[in-house]
């Protein structure tokens, strides 16, 4: 099914903020609900049978983490109702190493191997 809003093929979640945001079960449900169709906080609250204030908090966390975005708005009694959608169809967890990352890992492994082993009670500089 094609989403009713523009959506990138993927987004990478590799920061602590993003991983923490995804780890909360309610936020995972929110991300699932908006995969195919954008939804307002009111619609999400009704679908999850939770208070709007609670859902609004979770939506804000996901927006701050860059995993949700406002895809459209509409006027409802002089107030703008926001509709949220995912920033990417697939959320890729963690980093995918680049050649630079591999070189850095090799350097760190060499440095660790060359480090002088000291007794834990003895401090050295």
pLDDT at 115: 64
Across the range 61-78, mean pLDDT stands at: 90
d(CA 55, CA 52): 5
Confidence of residue 10 (pLDDT cuts 50, 70, 90): confident
Confidence of residue 87 (pLDDT cuts 50, 70, 90): very high
pLDDT at 28: 93
pLDDT at 14: 87
pLDDT at 21: 92
Question: Which residues touch 39 (CB under 8 Å, ≥6 apart)?
Answer: 33, 47, 83, 84
Sign of CA dihedral 24, 27, 32, 35: negative
Structure tokens at 115: 């480090």
Q: Which one of 8-17, 51-60, 108-117 scores highest in mean pLDDT?
A: 51-60
Whether pLDDT at 125 is above 80: no
Confidence of residue 74 (pLDDT cuts 50, 70, 90): confident
Q: Which one of 9-13, 56-60, 71-75 scores highest in mean pLDDT?
A: 56-60
d(CA 88, CA 115): 43
Helix extents (H) in 1-125 = 16-23, 25-33, 41-48, 52-64, 99-114
pLDDT at 119: 57
């Amino acid at each position: 099914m094609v989403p009713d809003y523009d959506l990138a093929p993927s987004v990478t979640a590799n920061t602590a903020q993003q991983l923490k945001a995804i780890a909360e079960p309610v936020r995972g449900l929110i991300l699932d609900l908006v995969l195919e169709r954008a939804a307002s906080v009111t619609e999400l609250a009704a679908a999850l049978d939770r208070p709007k204030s609670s859902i609004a908090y979770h939506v804000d966390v996901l927006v701050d983490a860059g995993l949700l975005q406002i895809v459209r708005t509409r006027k409802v009694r002089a107030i703008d109702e926001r509709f949220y959608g995912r920033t990417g169809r697939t959320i890729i967890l963690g980093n995918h190493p680049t050649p630079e990352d591999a070189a850095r890992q090799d350097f760190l492994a060499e440095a660790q191997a060359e480090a002088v082993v000291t007794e834990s009670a003895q401090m050295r500089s």
